Structure formats: C-alpha cells, structure tokens
C-alpha cells in the first residue's frame, strides 16, 4: 500500500463579532475534498475497473475510509479480500490523492450488478437510500449475540474522552467523530471527518486493515445523532452497543431492535436514554 496523505486543515480570514466589536482573524476550518473509490478485480479473463463511490471527506485515513466503506457494503468480508489499496498513479499529483483504488483478491465472489447503483455520497448524509431492513437480512447479517455489559459511568465518561482526542474539533469546531471504546470506557480508536458516515468508515476500516472484522467486544460512540446508516455499519462490524451524543432516528431504533443491538442516545453529563437492549447496561 502507498504512503497515505496526512490529514489536512485549512485557514480562512474571517470577521468575528464579539462583545460589540468586529475583529479580523485567521480561522481554522475543517478541510473538505471529494474522494473517489475505485474497484479493481478479475472477471472474464481480464481486469475490471469501476468507480463505485464519491464521498466528500476530510483528507486523511483515506485507505481506512475506502476499506470501511467496502466492508459496510458487504463487498469485502476480511482483510484477505483486499490485495492492495493505493492512490491513483495515472492522475496529476493533486487529483491522485483524491482517488483511491482497492484491488480485490482473485476469485472473490460478489455481485457486480450491485455496483450499477453508484454510491454517490455527501458529507452531510453519507450513503443514503436503504429504506428497509430487508437489505441487511439479505446481506447475511444476524442478530448481535449477548454477553457484553457496560456500566453507566463508563458510558457517561465516553463523550469527554472522545472530545479530548478530537484535535480537528478543537481547531475548527466543525467536524464529526466516531470513537471505539472498550467496555470499561477506554478509548481504543477515534477518527474525525466532516462526514459522520466517513468518520465511522475510517474507524471500522482501520480495524479491518489490521485484520479485525468482529468488533463485538467494543462500544461505539457517535459525536452526533444515530442514523440508520450508522447503525447498519455498526451491525456489519458486529458492534453490540452504539451510543450517540444526539438523538437516534426511528429507523435506527427499528434496526437496533431487530438485530438485538443496544442503542443509547442523548449521552449528556449525568444522563442518557436507552432505546433498545437495556440488558447490556449494568445496574
């Protein structure tokens, strides 16, 4: 795999109104650029190449983002399904870092017709359009098994731990985060991005590229709301407990209930709401 481009930030001159006066300052803002994900695989005696997604993301952890996206969509199931992840060498230097090609292992079985619906995404909503839970069942997802237990105090401590790890948010105030925690509240992995879905794909993709595809011993914390798409990605990664600082959507609650996941929302100092899977919360 190629060396990855490091995370980037940008600054803009702004006029700030504070305490009745205007002041000109140089303000740090979240960097947002498009990234195209391309697939390369063998079929019919030759190599097939197809662009399958364009997402607006914060540059950095691009390979993890691509791998996490493909894992969440069921195109790859394990690290061995990926031969290589690289930037596109055929483009000019600036454009090359915005195109990531994932080469699949020879003989990998997947349905290329699924790629005919291009997954064009935006930073605001990520991959949209899955309107039913049936798609997850067809993809082979089963209910998440019981076992993991989390103390309320551990959940309440997670937002502070996540925020302290968010260098991008500290600089810009305008970026999402997803954090993977041990049951005792220890932060295991954290990624930031202007897109909520991208941040989670980066977390899961990093684990995939390290050979870890079953994250059943972990708790996920989202810096914003919990949507259907985010719960879907957590389900594919087998994460049993999903917590969010914001509210869950109705379809996210339906998904969590259907697949025996614990869904926690409005995690604030001293309180939170449990929507499904209360049995995994101690006390």
- pLDDT tens by residue, 82-102: 999 999 866 566 677 889 999
Instruction: Give the confidence band of 124 by pLDDT, cuts at 50, 70, 90.
Output: very low
- In this predicted structure, what is the pLDDT of residue 2? 57
Strands 99-104 and 33-43: parallel
Classify 191 as helix, strand or coil. Answer: strand
- In this predicted structure, what is the pLDDT of residue 146? 94
Q: What top-level class would CATH report for the domain 152-280? A: alpha beta
Average pLDDT, rounded, for the chain: 85
Q: Return the axis-axis angle of helices 228-236 and 62-72, rounded to nearest 10°.
A: 90
- State pTM to two decimals: 0.83
Instruction: Give the confidence band of 21 by pLDDT, cuts at 50, 70, 90.
Output: confident
Residue 214: pLDDT over 90: yes
Residue 127: pLDDT over 70: no
**Contact present, 187 and 181 (Cβ < 8 Å):** yes
CA distance 111 to 172: 41
Residue 133: pLDDT over 70: no
Classify 36 as helix, strand or coil. Answer: strand
Higher pLDDT, 139 or 78: 78
Domain ranges, ordered by start, for the chain = 152-280
Pair of tokens at residue 33: 């650029």
- In this predicted structure, what is the pLDDT of residue 91? 59
Residues 6+ apart with CB under 8 A from 12: 26, 27, 29
Catalytic: 125? Answer: yes
- pLDDT tens sequence across 162-202: 999 998 777 777 789 999 999 999 999 999 999 999 999 99
Q: Which helix (H) or strand (E) holds 34?
A: strand 33-43
- In this predicted structure, what is the pLDDT of residue 119? 55
CA distance 155 to 243: 8
Residue 231: pLDDT over 80: yes
Residue owning tokens 């098994």: 145
| Strand intervals (E) in 75-161 | 82-87, 99-104, 119-120
Active-site pick, 88, 125, 128, 141: 125
- In this predicted structure, what is the pLDDT of residue 259? 94
- pLDDT tens sequence across 62-74: 999 999 999 998 8
Instruction: Among 125-129, 199-203, 245-249, name the most confident range.
Output: 199-203
CA distance 77 to 230: 18
């Amino acid at each position: 795999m190629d060396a990855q481009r490091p995370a980037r930030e940008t600054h803009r001159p702004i006029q700030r109104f504070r305490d009745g006066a205007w002041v000109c300052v140089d303000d740090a803002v979240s960097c947002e650029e498009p990234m195209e994900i391309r697939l390369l695989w063998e079929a019919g005696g030759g190599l097939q190449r197809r662009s399958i997604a364009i997402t607006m993301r914060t540059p950095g952890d691009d390979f993890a983002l691509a791998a996490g996206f493909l894992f969440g969509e069921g195109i790859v199931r394990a690290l061995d399904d990926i031969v290589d992840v690289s930037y596109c060498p055929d483009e000019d230097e600036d454009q090359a870092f915005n195109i990531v090609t994932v080469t699949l292992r020879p003989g990998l079985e997947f349905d290329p017709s699924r790629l005919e619906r291009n997954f064009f995404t935006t930073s605001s909503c990520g991959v949209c359009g899955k309107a039913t839970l049936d798609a997850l069942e067809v993809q082979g997802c089963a209910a998440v098994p019981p076992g993991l237990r989390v103390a309320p105090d551990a959940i309440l401590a997670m937002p502070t731990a996540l925020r302290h790890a968010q260098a991008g948010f500290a600089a810009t105030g305008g970026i999402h985060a997803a954090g993977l925690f041990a049951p005792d509240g220890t932060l295991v992995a954290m990624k930031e991005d202007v897109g909520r879905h991208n941040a989670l794909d980066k977390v899961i993709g990093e684990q995939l590229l390290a050979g870890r595809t079953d994250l059943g011993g972990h708790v996920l914390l989202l810096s914003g709301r919990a949507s259907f798409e985010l719960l879907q990605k957590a389900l594919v990664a087998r994460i049993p407990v999903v917590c969010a600082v914001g509210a869950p959507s109705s379809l996210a609650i339906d998904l969590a209930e259907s697949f025996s996941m614990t869904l926690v929302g409005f995690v604030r100092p001293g309180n939170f709401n449990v929507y499904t899977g209360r049995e995994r919360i101690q006390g």
